[in-house]
Chain A
C-alpha cells in the first residue's frame, strides 16, 4: 500500500474518532451540568483540560470563560483555529478522505462529505442553536456511520487496518486523558458528598459510552477504583484503553506481520506490544490514588511515541 495513502487512512480514522469523542463528551457534560449539584465551573473547566486546550483557551477567551458552558461548547465545536474543535476534526477527516477518494468506499466518502457539509453548510449551526442534543447526536451518528461503513463496505485489507489503527490509538489516548482529568478533578473536590461523586463517575462512564457496560459488570457498585479499572483494563469494553490497544496491535500485525523481519515498521510493532503487555499485567485493585495518574500518563506518552514512530517507519521513508 502506498505510504502516503496509509498516512491519510490513519488520520481519517483518528479524526473521525476524535470528532465523535468530542461530540459525545460535550453532550454528556451538558446533561451533567443539569443533573449534578455542581457549579458550571466544575462541569466545564475539565473539558478544556481533557482536550489539552487550557492554555490557548484562557489566552483567547479568558480564564473565567472555562466555566461558561456556552463558551466552551462554542470553542470546542466551531472554533476554526482550534485544532481539536469538532469542525476542525471533521474538515480534516474530509480532507484526508478526499485525498484518498479511490481508497475509501463510495459509502464512506458520501457520509464523511455529508458530515462536512452538515457542519459547514449552515444546517449544523441551525440545529446547534435549535436543538443541542439533536446536533451532537447527528454528529455522533454520522461519525459512527462512516466508521461502520468502512467495515461493511471496504475490503478487509491494509487500508482498513490503517483506518482502524488510527481509530484505536486515538481512542486509547482519549479514554486515558478523559479518565485522568476527571480523576484529578474528583480528588480535589472540596465537597466529598457521595451523591455528587457518584454522579460524576457515572458521567465519566457516559462520556465513554460506558455506563451500561459498567453496570453489567459491576451490578451497581460505583467506586472510583472500579470505574478507573473498567475504563483502563476491562478487556471486553470497546472503549477501554486495554481493548483499544489490543485492537491496535491486531491491526498492526495484519499490516506488519511480526515474522516478516525484512519489512519496515519493526520498532512500532515492539512499542505497541509493550504497551499492550503493560496493560495486561496491571492489577485492577491497585488503581487508587497516584497510580491512576501515573499509568494514564504512561499511556498518553506511549501512544504519542507510537504515532510519531509510525510516521517515521511507514509513512515517510525511502529515497528522494
Chain B
C-alpha cells in the first residue's frame, strides 16, 4: 500500500528523552558499536516490514499459548506478554562485567543467608542492623539451623538491572525466591529466529537454549542421593497461576514431571508422588509456590495448596527444595541497601556492580532526608512487588506525597526511598504510530547456583515500558518484553 511513497529511514524522528542513555544510538545519534550490525540489517526494513514481522511474532506467541494470566481479571483471561521484535543488544565487554558482578553478588547473598540462619556474625558485628533483619516479615525463624543439601540456598536467582544516564549498569532488585520470566527469554529467542532469521544469524550472539539443561543439572546436583538416579519435579500451584506457562515450559524442556501439591504426599519424612504404578520417591523439588503455602503444618494452616509434612522432610534432609526456605530476607528492599557491605564482609572484595543509593526509612537520618525530599525520590514499600505500593516523587501530586508521608511516619520499617534513575531506552516498535520510538527498559539476567558455584545465563529478560514516558516495565502494568542479544566475545 505505502509502497508508493518511499519509506523514511526507520530512525528518522527517533528522539531519546533528555538524560536517558540509549542502547542503540549514542548522544550524537550514531549507532553504538554493539548495535551497528543490527542497525545495518534492520535499517534496510521499512515500516511495513517491521509491522509484518511484529504481527507474525504475536501470532506465533498466541498460537503457542505463550501467555500469562492477569490476576485482576476474574475470568482468568490469558494474554500474550507483549513482545517487541527489535532486540536489546549487550556488548561482550558490558556483559563480562555484568556476569562477574552478578556472580559476586549472588555468592555474597548466599553467605549472608547461611549466616543469618546460622551464627549471625554479620549482625553481631553490627555490619547489618540486627533488628532490620530479624524483624523483617520475610525472616523465617523456623529455618534457623537448617543446612540445605549441597550447601546451596539460591539455586535460581533473577537480578534486576537498570542502566543510568551514564550507561552504568546498576542492580535495582534481587529476586531470590521464585523469580519468573526465564521462559520468555527462551521463547523470545525462538520467535526472533523465526521472524528475523538472517539478522539473528548475522548478529553473533550467545545462545540461551542451554538453560533448561543447566537448570536440570543444578537441581540434580543438590539431591540427597546420587544425581543420576534422582527424581526431580517442578511444583506448580496449577493452571490458574499467572506463571503457569513457565512452569510447564521448564518441566517440558527439562524432561521432568510437573506436579501440583495434591500429587505429592509425605510418609516417614520422605516425599512421594502418586503415579499410576503406585508411589514414587521424590528427591528434588523446584518449587514455584510461595513458601507461605508450601506446608500447612508449619506455615499458613488455611492453605489448601500445600503438602503436609514437606517442611519436616526438608529439615530432615530427605528432599531438596529449590530455592531454599527463608531466602526472602536477603531480597528484602531494606536489606538490599546493605548488599555492598555483605560483599566486603564475606568476600573481602569491592562490589563490581553498582546499585541504587537507598534510604532506609527505619534509620532516623535517612527518614528525615526522605520526608524532606519526597518530591524527588521514588518511595517503595519493602514487601510489595510488581510495581505496586510505590510513590513516583517527581510525577506525584501533593495529596499522594502527603499520603506517603503519613504512611512512612506510621511504619518507617515498611519503606525505603531511592533517587529516580533514568532508565536507559531502546528502540521499540510503536504499532499505532507505525514508527520506531525510544522506550525505557530494564534487564533481568538469571543465575543458577550449584555446589560448584554460580553460572549466569548469557541473556536475560529485557522488559520494556511500552507507554510513552513510562518507567514501569512490569507485565501487570503495561510492560512488554524484548529479546536480549548478548554478543559473543
A102 close to B276 (CB less than 8 A): no
**CB-contact partner of B276 in A6, A117, A320, under 8 A:** A6
A108 to B: closest C-beta gap in Å: 12
Of the four ranges (under 10, 10 to 19, 20 to 34, 35 or more), the interface on chain B belongs to 20 to 34
Q: CB of B178 within 8 A of chain A?
A: no
User: Which residues on A sit within 8 Å (CB–CB) of B62?
Assistant: 117
B77 to A: closest C-beta gap in Å: 11
User: Which residues on B sit within 8 Å (CB–CB) of A158?
Assistant: 276
B277 close to A101 (CB less than 8 A): no
Q: Assuming the A-B contacts A2-B273, A110-B64, are A318 and B257 also in contact, with contact meaning beta carbons closer than 8 angstroms in the complex? A: no
User: Which residues on A sit within 8 Å (CB–CB) of B308?
Assistant: 320
**CB-contact partner of B262 in A4, A95, A100, A255, under 8 A:** A4
A95 to B252, CA, bound (A): 17
A258 to B286, CA, bound (A): 35
A264 to B277, CA, bound (A): 7
B265 close to A102 (CB less than 8 A): no
A5 close to B262 (CB less than 8 A): no
A318 to B264, CA, bound (A): 10
User: Which residues on A sit within 8 Å (CB–CB) of B277?
Assistant: 1, 263-264
- Interfacial residues of chain B within 376-402, with CB under 8 A of chain A in the complex: none
A220 to B278, CA, bound (A): 52
Query: Most chain-B CB neighbours within 10 Å: which of A110, A158, A263, A320?
Result: A320
B259 to A: closest C-beta gap in Å: 6
B64 close to A4 (CB less than 8 A): no
Of the four ranges (under 10, 10 to 19, 20 to 34, 35 or more), the interface on chain A belongs to 20 to 34
The total number of A-B Cβ pairs within 8 Å is 77
Q: CB of A113 within 8 A of chain B?
A: yes
A182 to B63, CA, bound (A): 39
Q: CB of B251 within 8 A of chain A?
A: yes
Q: CB of A223 within 8 A of chain B?
A: no
Q: Assuming the A-B contacts A110-B63, A114-B63, A117-B62, are A101 and B276 also in contact, with contact meaning beta carbons closer than 8 angstroms in the complex? A: no
B239 close to A319 (CB less than 8 A): no
B263 close to A319 (CB less than 8 A): no
Query: Most chain-A CB neighbours within 10 Å: which of B63, B262, B274?
Result: B274
Nearest A residue (CB) for B277: A263
A114 to B279, CA, bound (A): 36
A30 to B238, CA, bound (A): 41
| Residue contacts A-B, CB under 8 angstroms, 23 given | A2-B259, A2-B273, A2-B274, A2-B275, A2-B276, A3-B275, A4-B259, A4-B262, A6-B276, A98-B239, A101-B248, A101-B249, A101-B252, A102-B248, A102-B258, A103-B258, A113-B65, A263-B278, A318-B274, A319-B267, A320-B262, A320-B265, A320-B308
Task: Show the binding face of B for A, using Cβ within 8 Å.
Answer: 62-65, 234, 238-239, 244-245, 248-249, 251-252, 257-260, 262-263, 265, 267, 273-279, 308
| Given contact pairs A102-B249, A102-B251, a sample of 16 additional A-B residue pairs in the complex whose CB atoms are under 8 Å apart | A1-B275, A1-B276, A3-B276, A4-B262, A95-B239, A99-B239, A101-B249, A101-B258, A106-B64, A117-B63, A162-B276, A263-B277, A265-B276, A318-B279, A319-B267, A320-B308
